[in-house]
């Protein structure tokens, strides 16, 4: 299964992206823009292609996630396509969620609140 990883560059260093890749990359094939876009190819085209080929969407939660035009665009595309949406927390937890609930996920992450409620299902 191919998964598109969406994140705010303001909040995620290359080291953080490599850590995410090592944590969940063995479970599914990931596309992480800063790690996987082919050199010599237009970045915009590469991101759009990977997003359209993705079978699932992973939002890396952070304080700037919902304030970045690109991440909002990516999340909306996942919603329009109807692919499964997951949230990845700073503690390394991966939760199934819905596009509509990403705002709540980000607020909980920023406020340090637990991910709770019927929307979130921990996945293995």
Max CA separation in the chain (angstroms):
44
Please state the domain count of the chain.
1
Range of the domain at 109: 2-122
Instruction: Give the CATH number, domain containing residue 118.
Output: 3.40.50
Kindly report the average pLDDT of the chain as a whole number. 78
pLDDT of residue 113: 36
pLDDT of residue 53: 93
pLDDT of residue 42: 83
Instruction: Please give the model's pTM, rounded to 2 decimal places.
Output: 0.79
- The 3 state secondary structure assigned to 78-124 is HHHHCCCEEEECCCCCEEEECHHHHHHHHHHHHHCCCCCCCCCEECC
Two tokens at 102? 């990403």
23 Cβ contact list (under 8 Å, min separation 6): 92
Q: Pick the range with the lowest mean pLDDT from 1-5, 18-22, 29-33, 109-113.
A: 109-113
Radius of gyration (C-alpha) of the chain in whole angstroms = 13
Could you tell me how far CA 110 lies from the centroid of its own chain?
16
Q: Which of 35, 77, 42, 36 is nearest to 59 (CA)?
A: 77
- The residue count for the chain: 124
- Residues 49-75 have pLDDT tens digits of 999 999 999 999 888 888 888 888 898
pLDDT of residue 123: 31
pLDDT of residue 124: 30
Residue range 92-102: mean pLDDT, rounded: 78
């Amino acid at each position: 299964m191919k998964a598109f990883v969406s994140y705010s560059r303001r909040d995620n260093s290359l080291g953080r992206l490599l850590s995410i890749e090592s944590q969940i990359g063995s479970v599914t094939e990931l596309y992480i823009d800063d790690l996987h876009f082919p050199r010599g190819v237009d970045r915009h085209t590469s991101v759009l292609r990977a997003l359209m080929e993705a079978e699932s969407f992973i939002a890396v939660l952070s304080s700037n996630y919902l304030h970045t035009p690109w991440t909002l665009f990516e999340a909306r595309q996942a919603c329009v396509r109807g692919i499964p949406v997951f949230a990845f927390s700073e503690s390394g937890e991966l939760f199934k969620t819905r596009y509509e609930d990403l705002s709540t996920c980000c607020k909980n992450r920023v406020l340090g609140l637990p991910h709770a409620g019927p929307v979130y299902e921990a996945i293995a």
